[in-house]
Amino acid sequence: MISDRRPDEVLIATDAGAGAVPIWLAPQDNWKTALAHLSPEHIAWLEANGFDGAARKHVLLPGAGGTIEGVVLGIGTPDGASRAVAAATNLGALPPVLASGTYRLGDPAACDPTMAAIAWGLGAYAFRRYKANGTRKGPVLVMPETADAKHAMAAVEGVWLGRDLINTPPNDMGPAELELAVRALAVRHDGTVEAVIGDDLLEKNFPLIHAVGRGSVRAPRLLDLTWGRADALKITLVGKGICFDTGGLDIKPASGMLLMKKDMGGAAAALALAHMIMSAGLDVRLRVLIPAAENAISGSAFRPSDVIRSRAGTTVEIGNTDAEGRLVLADALALADEEAPDHLFTFATLTGAARVALGPDLPPYFCDDEGHASVIAAAGSAVADPVWRLPLTTPYESWLDSNVADMNNVAEGGFAGAVVAAIFLKRFVKKAGTFAHFDIYGWRPAQRVLGPKGGEPQAARAVFEVVRRMVGS
């Protein structure tokens, strides 16, 4: 971890909570009833401070001698089956605003205790590696006794890892540094890593990855991590690892490059999820494929109108060099598909069209298996990591036709950009049991209850819940 604190410094063991300050959750519709155990003086104090139970509004309860006797946190009016999870997510708002000290849930039964721990851990994250005063002492939460501590820590650590990777500036996070992160993860969990680097990509038949990355002085590579029993359920993750994207010869404007350090957000999400799976000890055979490259401009950069043969044997005409993510993913997907995994997931900061359609906080996913798609949607809602399904619209297949190659990497016109990109990827998946593609933004544009502005490995926790359900964990 390269954050200012570690997850185990913001979430501490249950037996370390002597003297911890209680946090009481109060719904907006009946907050006085929920807080009936408090003294009349404290109720009067809450009223004097305008407390009404609104979501994430908090008030400190004074104690003797200037101490804090408790914290009251409004949770709004969550309803339905998600009430316990929705209530718990409000805990994420507290770490940035509470003073240093040790806190605990006053009534763990008032919310989902595991989600409460996760929300606190996600809200406590801060990236201060490059600040002169980089460390800060903040509040800590005692892990609720009824929480699944292993699950909570796996989720928090995974998200922190993903955020760290995305937030790191591109001068310190190129393809080689991304490889180091993959190898560190493998060492931690006793996995194995193979890497194909530079011109070896041509020898090993990864021509699209090579084409995208050959314009940079930082050599492209294909990273391949494996973990778990060989005969267990086969889960394969593919994450787009474009460490910086200029757009290539179809260059982006300056404003379009400002956030391009996050173009490896798909790789970060895949690695975040991998950590969750391995840390939780889920009984799967996990494979993670990261095509890592920079899309740079030089005399050796690939060009519009180039025709490149993919690993799958199909030829691709380059209609736009700024649609490079789907190219590197195509070679990685072809490799993944060769062993026919039971479940194949891709994560990629792939299209601006996805953001136009759904905004930055709700990533779309594509899946043509109805049952699998329903599980994904339900899992995302269950863990407050929402995703939204978009269609793989068959009639749009022809939009990728090329006069000189088997396909183009883009369609003319600009309609349904996210759908077309997903269709392109789907062409490289033939044998996998199920396939789901997540077109993530990889960035939180403003502070939210579950984290600060900055990198975010979206959909990682949602798919973690999917895999947990698959193996009955």
> Which positions are annotated as active-site residues?
252, 326
11 Cα distance to chain centroid = 20
- DSSP-assigned letters across all residues of 430-451: SS-SEEEEEE---EESS-BTTB
**221 Rama class: left (phi>0) / alpha (psi -120 to 50) / beta:** beta
Q: Name the token pair of 270.
A: 């895949």
Structural contact between residues 231 and 339, judged by C-beta atoms closer than 8 angstroms? no
- Residue 305: count of CB within 10 angstroms of its CB: 10
Q: CA-CA distance, 359 to 471, in Å (whole number)?
A: 32
Residues shown for the chain: 473
Q: Name the token pair of 287.
A: 């494979």
Q: CA-CA distance, 288 to 471, in Å (whole number)?
A: 18
Say how many Å lie between the first and final Cα of the chain, rounded: 26
Q: Name the token pair of 53.
A: 């139970």
Four-point Cα dihedral 356, 357, 359, 363, nearest 10: -120
Q: Name the token pair of 36.
A: 């009936």
Structural contact between residues 315 and 405, judged by C-beta atoms closer than 8 angstroms? yes
CB-based burial, 111-124: b 16+ in 10 Å, e otherwise? bbbbbbbbbbbbbb
Q: Which residues pair with 245 in a beta bridge?
A: 295
Q: CA-CA distance, 388 to 396, in Å (whole number)?
A: 20
Q: CA-CA distance, 193 to 185, in Å (whole number)?
A: 10
3-state secondary structure of 238: strand
Q: CA-CA distance, 405 to 384, in Å (whole number)?
A: 43
Structural contact between residues 331 and 420, judged by C-beta atoms closer than 8 angstroms? no
Q: CA-CA distance, 423 to 425, in Å (whole number)?
A: 5
Structural contact between residues 251 and 181, judged by C-beta atoms closer than 8 angstroms? no
Structural contact between residues 324 and 244, judged by C-beta atoms closer than 8 angstroms? no
3-state secondary structure of 251: coil
What is the amino acid identity at position 21?
Answer: V
